[in-house]
Structure 1
Amino acid sequence: MIRILLAEDDDSMREYLARALARVGYAVTAVDRGTAALPLLEQDRYDLLLTDIVMPEMDGIELAQRASALDPMMRVMFITGFAAVTLKNGAMPPQAKVLSKPFHLRDLVCEVNRLFDVEAATEL
Protein backbone atom coordinates (compact mmCIF):
# COMPACT_ATOMS: atom_id res chain seq x y z
CA MET A 1 0.00 0.00 0.00
CA ILE A 2 1.25 3.47 -0.86
CA ARG A 3 2.03 5.48 2.27
CA ILE A 4 1.52 9.24 2.41
CA LEU A 5 2.72 11.64 5.08
CA LEU A 6 0.48 14.72 5.06
CA ALA A 7 1.71 17.90 6.77
CA GLU A 8 -0.99 20.59 6.86
CA ASP A 9 -1.49 23.11 9.66
CA ASP A 10 -5.16 23.82 8.94
CA ASP A 11 -7.13 21.25 10.96
CA SER A 12 -10.17 21.02 8.71
CA MET A 13 -8.10 20.87 5.52
CA ARG A 14 -5.82 18.19 6.99
CA GLU A 15 -8.78 16.07 8.04
CA TYR A 16 -10.53 16.57 4.70
CA LEU A 17 -7.46 15.62 2.62
CA ALA A 18 -6.52 12.66 4.80
CA ARG A 19 -10.03 11.25 4.66
CA ALA A 20 -10.27 11.66 0.88
CA LEU A 21 -6.93 9.97 0.23
CA ALA A 22 -7.69 7.13 2.66
CA ARG A 23 -11.06 6.60 1.00
CA VAL A 24 -9.36 5.81 -2.33
CA GLY A 25 -6.90 3.38 -0.77
CA TYR A 26 -3.84 5.30 0.39
CA ALA A 27 -2.40 4.86 3.88
CA VAL A 28 -2.27 8.39 5.29
CA THR A 29 -0.49 9.70 8.36
CA ALA A 30 -1.40 13.33 9.03
CA VAL A 31 0.42 15.89 11.17
CA ASP A 32 -0.13 19.58 11.82
CA ARG A 33 3.39 20.92 11.14
CA GLY A 34 6.75 20.14 9.63
CA THR A 35 8.43 19.69 13.00
CA ALA A 36 5.94 16.90 13.76
CA ALA A 37 6.56 15.27 10.37
CA LEU A 38 10.34 15.16 10.61
CA PRO A 39 10.61 12.52 13.39
CA LEU A 40 8.16 10.30 11.48
CA LEU A 41 10.30 10.60 8.34
CA GLU A 42 13.37 9.64 10.36
CA GLN A 43 11.65 6.55 11.83
CA ASP A 44 9.66 5.22 8.91
CA ARG A 45 9.44 5.15 5.13
CA TYR A 46 6.78 7.04 3.17
CA ASP A 47 6.16 7.04 -0.58
CA LEU A 48 4.88 10.62 -0.70
CA LEU A 49 5.30 13.73 1.38
CA LEU A 50 2.23 15.88 0.79
CA THR A 51 2.84 19.20 2.49
CA ASP A 52 1.49 22.68 2.73
CA ILE A 53 4.21 25.26 2.06
CA VAL A 54 3.26 27.87 4.66
CA MET A 55 3.27 26.33 8.15
CA PRO A 56 4.50 27.42 11.58
CA GLU A 57 7.92 26.38 12.92
CA MET A 58 9.15 24.74 9.68
CA ASP A 59 7.78 25.50 6.23
CA GLY A 60 6.99 22.82 3.70
CA ILE A 61 10.00 23.62 1.52
CA GLU A 62 12.46 23.06 4.37
CA LEU A 63 10.56 19.91 5.33
CA ALA A 64 10.78 18.63 1.74
CA GLN A 65 14.52 19.34 1.61
CA ARG A 66 15.10 17.41 4.81
CA ALA A 67 12.81 14.59 3.68
CA SER A 68 14.64 14.33 0.35
CA ALA A 69 17.97 14.11 2.20
CA LEU A 70 16.58 11.22 4.28
CA ASP A 71 14.98 9.42 1.33
CA PRO A 72 15.82 10.72 -2.16
CA MET A 73 13.26 8.31 -3.69
CA MET A 74 10.31 9.78 -1.79
CA ARG A 75 8.01 11.86 -3.95
CA VAL A 76 7.01 15.35 -2.85
CA MET A 77 3.84 17.32 -3.56
CA PHE A 78 3.16 20.79 -2.23
CA ILE A 79 -0.29 22.21 -1.61
CA THR A 80 -0.46 25.94 -1.21
CA GLY A 81 -2.63 28.98 -1.37
CA PHE A 82 0.45 31.13 -1.89
CA ALA A 83 1.86 30.26 -5.32
CA ALA A 84 4.56 32.96 -5.13
CA VAL A 85 6.06 31.25 -2.08
CA THR A 86 6.96 28.24 -4.22
CA LEU A 87 9.65 30.31 -5.92
CA LYS A 88 11.64 30.70 -2.67
CA ASN A 89 15.26 30.56 -3.82
CA GLY A 90 14.60 27.67 -6.20
CA ALA A 91 14.85 25.47 -3.12
CA MET A 92 12.19 22.93 -4.05
CA PRO A 93 13.17 19.35 -4.87
CA PRO A 94 13.41 19.12 -8.68
CA GLN A 95 10.59 16.58 -9.17
CA ALA A 96 8.20 18.22 -6.72
CA LYS A 97 4.64 18.91 -7.82
CA VAL A 98 2.68 21.97 -6.72
CA LEU A 99 -1.10 22.00 -6.36
CA SER A 100 -2.53 25.46 -5.72
CA LYS A 101 -5.51 25.98 -3.42
CA PRO A 102 -8.38 25.95 -3.95
CA PHE A 103 -8.52 22.61 -5.72
CA HIS A 104 -11.10 19.87 -6.02
CA LEU A 105 -10.41 16.60 -4.21
CA ARG A 106 -10.65 14.85 -7.56
CA ASP A 107 -7.67 16.94 -8.76
CA LEU A 108 -5.62 15.97 -5.72
CA VAL A 109 -6.40 12.27 -6.08
CA CYS A 110 -5.65 12.39 -9.82
CA GLU A 111 -2.28 14.06 -9.18
CA VAL A 112 -1.36 11.52 -6.49
CA ASN A 113 -2.50 8.65 -8.73
CA ARG A 114 -0.42 10.09 -11.56
CA LEU A 115 2.68 10.19 -9.33
CA PHE A 116 2.34 6.47 -8.75
CA ASP A 117 0.93 5.53 -12.16
CA VAL A 118 -2.28 4.38 -10.50
CA GLU A 119 -5.23 4.08 -12.81
CA ALA A 120 -8.41 4.55 -10.86
CA ALA A 121 -11.88 5.75 -11.62
CA THR A 122 -12.47 7.77 -8.50
CA GLU A 123 -15.70 9.49 -7.65
CA LEU A 124 -15.32 12.27 -5.11
Structure 2
Amino acid sequence: MIRILLAEDDDVMREYLTRALERSGYAVTAVDRGTAALPLLEREAFDLLLTDIVMPEMDGIELAQKAAAMVPGLRVMFITGFAAVTLKAGGAMPQARVLSKPFHLRDLVMEVDRLFQVGEANGL
Protein backbone atom coordinates (compact mmCIF):
# COMPACT_ATOMS: atom_id res chain seq x y z
CA MET A 1 0.00 0.00 0.00
CA ILE A 2 1.29 3.45 -0.89
CA ARG A 3 2.01 5.55 2.20
CA ILE A 4 1.54 9.30 2.19
CA LEU A 5 2.80 11.77 4.78
CA LEU A 6 0.52 14.82 4.72
CA ALA A 7 1.64 18.10 6.31
CA GLU A 8 -1.20 20.65 6.37
CA ASP A 9 -1.78 23.24 9.09
CA ASP A 10 -5.47 23.84 8.32
CA ASP A 11 -7.45 21.30 10.38
CA VAL A 12 -10.45 21.09 8.04
CA MET A 13 -8.32 20.82 4.90
CA ARG A 14 -6.12 18.16 6.53
CA GLU A 15 -9.19 16.11 7.43
CA TYR A 16 -10.72 16.38 3.93
CA LEU A 17 -7.47 15.47 2.19
CA THR A 18 -6.85 12.52 4.51
CA ARG A 19 -10.36 11.18 4.02
CA ALA A 20 -10.27 11.52 0.22
CA LEU A 21 -6.90 9.79 -0.08
CA GLU A 22 -7.82 6.99 2.32
CA ARG A 23 -11.05 6.35 0.38
CA SER A 24 -8.88 5.97 -2.73
CA GLY A 25 -6.77 3.27 -1.11
CA TYR A 26 -3.80 5.23 0.22
CA ALA A 27 -2.45 4.98 3.76
CA VAL A 28 -2.20 8.52 5.15
CA THR A 29 -0.37 9.85 8.18
CA ALA A 30 -1.30 13.50 8.76
CA VAL A 31 0.48 16.17 10.79
CA ASP A 32 -0.31 19.83 11.38
CA ARG A 33 3.16 21.29 10.68
CA GLY A 34 6.44 20.53 8.99
CA THR A 35 8.37 20.16 12.22
CA ALA A 36 6.06 17.28 13.20
CA ALA A 37 6.74 15.51 9.89
CA LEU A 38 10.52 15.24 10.21
CA PRO A 39 10.61 12.73 13.10
CA LEU A 40 8.12 10.54 11.23
CA LEU A 41 10.35 10.54 8.16
CA GLU A 42 13.21 9.30 10.33
CA ARG A 43 11.18 6.40 11.77
CA GLU A 44 8.80 5.35 9.01
CA ALA A 45 8.86 4.73 5.26
CA PHE A 46 6.68 6.96 3.07
CA ASP A 47 6.21 7.02 -0.68
CA LEU A 48 4.96 10.60 -0.95
CA LEU A 49 5.27 13.82 1.02
CA LEU A 50 2.16 15.91 0.37
CA THR A 51 2.66 19.29 1.97
CA ASP A 52 1.11 22.69 2.12
CA ILE A 53 3.73 25.33 1.37
CA VAL A 54 2.67 28.09 3.76
CA MET A 55 2.79 26.73 7.33
CA PRO A 56 4.05 28.03 10.67
CA GLU A 57 7.44 26.96 12.11
CA MET A 58 8.71 25.42 8.85
CA ASP A 59 7.29 25.99 5.39
CA GLY A 60 6.60 23.14 3.01
CA ILE A 61 9.57 23.93 0.76
CA GLU A 62 12.03 23.69 3.63
CA LEU A 63 10.31 20.50 4.79
CA ALA A 64 10.54 18.99 1.31
CA GLN A 65 14.22 19.87 1.00
CA LYS A 66 15.03 18.29 4.37
CA ALA A 67 12.87 15.26 3.54
CA ALA A 68 14.63 14.79 0.19
CA ALA A 69 18.01 14.82 1.96
CA MET A 70 16.75 12.26 4.50
CA VAL A 71 14.88 10.01 2.08
CA PRO A 72 16.36 10.04 -1.42
CA GLY A 73 13.74 9.29 -4.05
CA LEU A 74 10.81 10.45 -1.89
CA ARG A 75 8.14 11.90 -4.15
CA VAL A 76 6.90 15.38 -3.23
CA MET A 77 3.69 17.21 -4.03
CA PHE A 78 2.99 20.74 -2.84
CA ILE A 79 -0.44 22.25 -2.31
CA THR A 80 -0.80 26.01 -2.10
CA GLY A 81 -3.22 28.84 -2.54
CA PHE A 82 -0.55 31.38 -3.46
CA ALA A 83 0.54 31.73 -7.10
CA ALA A 84 3.88 33.39 -6.26
CA VAL A 85 4.69 30.57 -3.86
CA THR A 86 3.97 28.07 -6.63
CA LEU A 87 6.79 29.60 -8.69
CA LYS A 88 9.16 29.44 -5.73
CA ALA A 89 8.30 25.77 -5.15
CA GLY A 90 8.98 24.89 -8.77
CA GLY A 91 12.39 26.55 -8.58
CA ALA A 92 13.35 24.98 -5.26
CA MET A 93 12.24 21.44 -6.14
CA PRO A 94 11.74 21.14 -9.91
CA GLN A 95 10.82 17.44 -9.73
CA ALA A 96 7.93 18.14 -7.32
CA ARG A 97 4.33 18.53 -8.42
CA VAL A 98 2.39 21.63 -7.38
CA LEU A 99 -1.40 21.63 -6.99
CA SER A 100 -2.93 25.08 -6.59
CA LYS A 101 -5.89 25.76 -4.30
CA PRO A 102 -8.76 25.74 -4.76
CA PHE A 103 -8.92 22.24 -6.18
CA HIS A 104 -11.48 19.48 -6.09
CA LEU A 105 -10.58 16.44 -3.99
CA ARG A 106 -11.00 14.35 -7.14
CA ASP A 107 -8.20 16.40 -8.76
CA LEU A 108 -5.88 15.69 -5.85
CA VAL A 109 -6.52 11.95 -6.03
CA MET A 110 -6.01 11.98 -9.81
CA GLU A 111 -2.66 13.78 -9.41
CA VAL A 112 -1.49 11.31 -6.76
CA ASP A 113 -2.63 8.37 -8.91
CA ARG A 114 -0.80 9.85 -11.89
CA LEU A 115 2.35 10.38 -9.85
CA PHE A 116 2.55 6.70 -8.98
CA GLN A 117 1.51 5.43 -12.42
CA VAL A 118 4.35 7.46 -13.94
CA GLY A 119 6.77 6.06 -11.35
CA GLU A 120 5.64 2.49 -12.00
CA ALA A 121 5.93 2.98 -15.75
CA ASN A 122 9.53 4.17 -15.24
CA GLY A 123 10.34 1.22 -13.00
CA LEU A 124 10.45 3.21 -9.78
If the length of structure 1 is used for normalisation, what is the TM-score? Answer: 0.90
How far residue 90 of structure 1 moved from its aligned partner, in angstroms, is: 6.1
1:1-124, aligned counterparts within 5 Å? 1-88=1-88, 92-117=92-117
Q: Secondary structure at the match of 2:45?
A: coil
Q: Give per-residue Cα distances to partners, 1:25-46, cap 9 Å, x unaligned.
A: 0000000000000110111110
More helix per residue: 1 or 2?
Answer: 2
Partner of 2:4, secondary structure, is: strand
Provide the rounded CA distance (Å) in 1 between the counterparts of 2:72 and 2:44: 14
Query: 1:89 deviation in Å?
Result: 8.1
Whole-Å separation in 1 of the counterparts to 2:18 and 2:96: 20
Provide structure 2 residue ranges, at least 5 long, that are not aligned to the other structure.
119-124
* Aligned partner letter, 1:2: I
- SS of structure 1 residue aligned to 2:92: coil
Q: Give me the CA root mean square deviation.
A: 1.5
TM-score by length of 2: 0.90
Q: Which runs of 5+ in 1 are unaligned?
A: 119-124
Alpha carbons of 1:89 and 1:106: their partners in 2 closer, same or farther (altered >3 Å)?
closer
Change (3 A) 1:106 1:66: same
Query: How far does residue 87 in structure 1 lie from its aligned partner after superposition?
Result: 2.9
2-side partners of 1:81 and 1:94: how far apart?
Answer: 18
